[in-house]
Structure 1
Amino acid sequence: MSKIDPSLFSGQHGARPDEPCPRCGQPLHLRHGKHGAFLGCSAYPDCDYLRPLKVIEHDEDVEKPLEGSACPLCGHTLAIRKGRYGLFIGCSHYPSCHYVADINEQSSNEPPCPVCAKGRLVARTSRYGKRFYACDAYPGCRFIINDKPVAQACPKCGFGILAERKGRLYCPNKGCDHQQ
């Protein structure tokens, strides 16, 4: 007597032989789609019943609740969550509440934009997880810099900011080679 279930190797892709379609009574078959495996009715296209095998829950992406913090929209607890572009802070009652905050620290001493002088250079994160600094007056101003800006004017050319890379300050203005 074998301990292996022969129905696993029968070549027929079925869910379980005893599980009928709840709509029409035909057997359900295992199918594969771009979102993973699912059970579909064998009478397709006459019956379009399907059921995903993996149950999608929104609580899977909650990393850690932030105790003592409240959502400004609904008042529930905020949580550090994992999303498509990395970690972010969001309301724990998603999808009822869609509040999202950037996990990168935003300080009040952000230097002014040297190009438009209207906006401030704020930290942003690219879709690949890299940090960069851009003017918050976008799309009116498209100034962007990869290194951390420092609110000091360049002594050589007078450009509004200096940038810090590996502990050294340099002027990000094209054509200026000033370094400290």
Structure 2
Amino acid sequence: MADDPILNHLLHEGETFENTEERRLFYVALTRARHQVYLMYNPQQPSKFLTEIISEFSLGGQDAAGSICPKCDGKLVERKSARGRFLGCNNYPHCRYTLDLTADKV
């Protein structure tokens, strides 16, 4: 996928980026999961790839991103569709809660 945000983050500058091959292997491992991915790590020595993903995707959200899902206590993350931006539960497809972010736009 040419415009995959995780791949773009992991491979910013293509071949000139540090640890390019390791980043590719990490991306392959993440994208082969069928439903969910659990990343376990040592908080005292986290992988630099995981640290980058956590800072980019979980802390870089918009207004209500990171809020708690009212249906299942999961986290709400910003997503995009053909109809616009929305918040969706990170436990999708088990929880299908969404909150439209484009409704308040004029």
| TM-score normalized with structure 1 length | 0.24
The structure with more radius of gyration: 1
Point out the structure with the larger strand share: 1
Q: Which has the higher relative contact order, 1 or 2, with Cα contacts under 8 A spaced 6 or more apart?
A: 2
| TM-score normalized with structure 2 length | 0.40
